[in-house]
């Protein structure tokens, strides 16, 4: 396991803050009791959770050009037909993956293709599992032209605790399946908008892992 580069500064600041607090307690508190020990234990747990949030576990990535692989870890919370107006501009299937605070928050491209469209949209910070958060929350949209001429849209959506979406996509860039797309801090979701004729491989409430779990077939 490694630590994502987006988290290194935050982890260092968190560790420094915990160190200073404990040092001050050692200097100022003459007689420690159970409350003090529990407080320090809570700080250590908090530091561990912050570090764990930015983890990148070692995985054997799926490599299948005929499938869309999950771009995120999490739970499937939406599978429905919708109209996507910004990039696909028509009817498509939306599949949404909700990432809790304990999930790995690295996002990856689900397939090979050409990035044709990148758009950041400001918005609210509703709970990411809320269905309307896909359209109301702060988000980044990445449109891809696949090798078979069809288009998909990937949407990174901020949540109630996610205050920063990191997206590395650039228009005109050729990308590969499971290449890193970005990162969302502290709870969020990723939406996929797919052609209607792509057979779906997941059901509601399924648990998926980025770079491993198939989401749909490419046809």
Q: Which residues are catalytic?
A: 188
Rounded to whole angstroms, the Cα distance separating 100 from 187 reads 5
Q: What's the CA gap between 195 and 25, in Å, rounded?
A: 59
Q: How many degrees, rounded to 5, is the angle at CA 143 between CA 139 and CA 144?
A: 145
The CB density around residue 4, as the number of other CB atoms within 10 Å, is 17
- Residue 73: count other Cβ atoms within 10 Å of its Cβ: 23
């Amino acid at each position: 396991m490694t630590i994502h580069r987006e988290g290194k500064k935050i982890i260092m600041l968190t560790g420094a803050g915990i160190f200073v607090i404990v040092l001050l307690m050692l200097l100022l508190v003459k007689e420690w009791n159970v409350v003090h020990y529990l407080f320090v234990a809570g700080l250590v747990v908090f530091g561990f959770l912050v570090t764990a949030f930015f983890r990148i576990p070692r995985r054997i990535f799926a490599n299948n050009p005929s499938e869309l692989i999950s771009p995120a870890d999490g739970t499937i919370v939406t599978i429905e037909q919708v109209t996507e107006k910004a990039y696909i501009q028509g009817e498509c299937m939306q599949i949404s993956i909700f990432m809790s605070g304990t999930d790995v928050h690295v996002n990856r491209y689900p397939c090979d293709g050409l990035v044709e469209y990148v758009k950041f949209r400001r918005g609210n910070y509703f709970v990411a599992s809320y269905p309307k958060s896909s359209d109301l929350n702060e988000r980044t949209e990445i449109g891809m032209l696949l090798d078979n001429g069809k288009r998909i849209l990937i949407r990174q959506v901020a949540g109630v605790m996610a205050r920063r979406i990191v997206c590395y996509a650039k228009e005109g860039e050729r990308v590969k399946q499971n290449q890193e797309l970005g990162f969302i801090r502290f709870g969020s979701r990723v939406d996929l908008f797919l052609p209607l004729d792509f057979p779906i491989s997941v059901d509601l409430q399924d648990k998926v892992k980025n770079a491993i779990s198939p989401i749909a077939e490419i046809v």
